[in-house]
Amino acid sequence: MSDLHYCQYAFARPECRVKEIGRGVDPHYNVELVREGPIAAVISRVSLDRFSPARLQGKTAEDIQWLGEVAARYNEIICQAASGSAVLPLRLGTLFRSLDSLRATLVRCRSTVAEFLQQLGDRQEWGVKLYLAKLRMEAMPGHKGLPPPHYLNQPQTGTAYLTRKKAQLDGRRELRAAAYRSIQTVEQRLTGIAEHCCRIRNLSGELTGRSEEMVFNAAYLLSSSGKDEWLNALDDISRDIHDKGLLLEVSGPWPPYHFCPKLEL
């Protein structure tokens, strides 16, 4: 068995330029293009001692750190390829034992991939995330700067304490409800402009690295002609939600990660 495999990053058009991309995920080998009729595979060779199936599963802390570095470079390569061609990105770990098996996959997927690349054209993916800001104390009943409710003038009895806590809880519920109403408005407005939308599972704070709760996560597919209108709408939305307890995060443009057809590789 050869000690080299072929790592495929994406499908692309035959005119995709990869020479400028340079090294692949294995720094000993550069990115190459394997053509098959109207499509091509963006690949590089990888050594099995560095990219064994067991290591790609990330079972140890060392492997997890290594995988993070590999994934970052993997994404860079796909993005560089996408800068000059429509691409169909593949998941990390798409490996072939030989060039013959890679070419067989190109032949088998040629029709589906060619149709997707043709329909994709110059469209790109953009991401939108909304976070629920920590509820501002100035928005809560009884905060300095707002007229104090009547219960704050009462002696601090058990009844007064419970009344105050109930008012604060009611205020939090109302702010949260208002935030979710704003989310629906944001989703309707952005979806109406984009060509396609894909809702994505909200991520935990461990994955986002943020203290705020993620309450909305979506990807949008935009054409070059519709991008400016969509981004202008985002500017308006950012201003509208500023005082409604929501924080906006926008990313892109990206290759169409969330809009690809399923392939049998």
Render pLDDT for 211-254 as a digit per residue (tens, 0 to 9): 898 999 999 999 999 999 999 999 999 888 877 788 999 999 99
pLDDT at 158 exceeding the cut of 50 = yes
At residue 199, what is the residue type? Answer: R
Q: Which residues contact 37 (CB under 8 A, 6 or more apart)?
A: 14, 110, 114
pLDDT at 196 exceeding the cut of 50 = yes
pLDDT band at residue 149 using 50, 70 and 90 as cut-offs? low
Average pLDDT, integer, range 97-117: 96
CA atoms within 13 A of residue 249's CA, in its CB half-sphere: 14
Tokens found for residue 227: 């991008």
Supply the DSSP symbol for 96: E
User: 168 or 75: which carries more pLDDT confidence?
Assistant: 75
Q: What is the pLDDT of residue 144?
A: 43
pLDDT of 23-80, one tens digit each?
Answer: 999 999 999 999 999 999 999 999 988 887 778 887 788 888 889 999 999 999 999 9
What is the side-by-side order of every strand in the sheet holding 196-199? Answer: 196-199, 213-222, 124-132, 246-254
Q: What is the pLDDT of residue 8?
A: 97
Distance CA 211, CA 114 (A): 43
Q: What is the pLDDT of residue 156?
A: 59
Q: Which residues contact 197 (CB under 8 A, 6 or more apart)?
A: 187, 190, 191, 218, 219, 220, 221
Q: What is the pLDDT of residue 1?
A: 46
pLDDT band at residue 130 using 50, 70 and 90 as cut-offs? very high
Contact (CB, 8 A) for 214 and 202:
yes
pLDDT at 138 exceeding the cut of 50 = no
Contact (CB, 8 A) for 123 and 195:
yes
Distance CA 144, CA 36 (A): 70
The crossing angle, in degrees rounded to 10, of helices 224-240 and 158-193 is 160
State the DSSP H helix or E strand holding residue 8, giving kind and residue range, or none if neither: strand 4-12
Q: How far is CA 261 from the centre of its chain?
A: 17
